Structure 1
Amino acid sequence: MARIAARSLRVQSVAMVIGRTIYLYGASREQFLSDIAWMRHEACHIKQYQQYGKIGFLWRYMTEYFRNGYYNNSLEIAARAAEEDLSVLEDIEIG
């Protein structure tokens, strides 16, 4: 799925959250972990899953995506804002 997302977004690497797991395509674990803004972005999506539940998150995400596109999706806007939030990684366990 992350590969499909990368192709549709026309990017070389992508991270995709499903529940509490971050799937990478075109980037190594080390590359991802060295990019704090990227980690915060994906951690925000994990927190959104926790807030809305799996079905609730997917429903909201897809509804926003079809209405507003990827970049204007409110869940993506929040995740981009989280890239600068120093506290967003506090409750996240990296295994």
Structure 2
Amino acid sequence: MCSMEKASLASCEITYFPIKSEDYIGDINKVLKIIEAYPVEVTVGILSTTIRGNSQIIFQLIQEIYSNMAEEGRHFTISMMMSNICGCEA
């Protein structure tokens, strides 16, 4: 991996909390489908999802999650933690 690729590598832990949803599992699955459409490593846990990949791609997918779910009229909270060191070893 070249230094530029390593410099842009990031890991992100994200949790999507549906608010007042009658189909909260469906909402979470929509978010997971958005994440899985991107070229990133994904680990789905019981409480959160960890994403590893290019930082700009991670920012794009978070923007898409926010935009798509808001446009569908969903109410939600997204909790995320992003790092350029934790989980970023090549």
Whether the TM-score (by the shorter chain) exceeds 0.5 is no
Normalising by structure 2, we get a TM-score of: 0.32
Q: Which of structures 1 and 2 has the larger relative contact order (alpha carbons within 8 angstroms, sep 6+)?
A: 2
- Bigger fraction of residues in strand: 2
Normalising by structure 1, we get a TM-score of: 0.31
Question: Which structure would you say has the larger Rg?
Answer: 2
- Bigger fraction of residues in helix: 1
